[in-house]
Amino acid sequence: MALYSQTQTEKELNKLANLVKSGQSSDSLARNIHKLVGLEINQLEIDLLATEKDLREFESQYSMSTVDFFHQWQAGQTDDNMDYTEWASLVQMAENLRKRLELLKGENPK
């Protein structure tokens, strides 16, 4: 269970955004925001590396690239093997992590 709801978090972020837009933010606030973004980027990169390692293990086990597997899985050309379900889930997790990193790094999501 999340400690704070998404709505609560959005309200707090809006307060900070309004403070910054009004020119009333402190150097301390700016440092903390930059530090928080950096920490989140670092954690996402760690999570992505671990997920990519798991994907490579499936590629090795099944002698197939993740891209080829996922195309087959999306087309319904694989069975309901539990490994395949996990592999497909990892593909989706990795894509979500990449999108989150792109957003935080200020890159354009694909």
- The answer as to whether 7 is a domain residue is no
Domain that holds residue 68: 28-105
| Share of residues in the chain with pLDDT > 70 (%) | 95
Residue 92, domain member (yes or no):
yes
Average pLDDT over residues 7-25: 93
- pLDDT, one tens digit per residue, over 68-79 is 999 999 999 998
Domain-located, residue 47: yes
Evaluate whether residue 22 is within a structural domain: no
What does the angle CA 65 – CA 71 – CA 77 come to, to the nearest 5 degrees?
A: 105
With respect to residue 14, please indicate whether it lies within any of the assigned structural domains: no
What pLDDT digit, counting tens, does each position of 20-53 carry? 999 999 999 999 999 999 999 999 999 999 999 9
pLDDT exceeds cutoff 60 at 110: no
Structural domain contains residue 83: yes
- The verdict on residue 70 lying in a domain is yes
Q: Is residue 12 part of a domain?
A: no
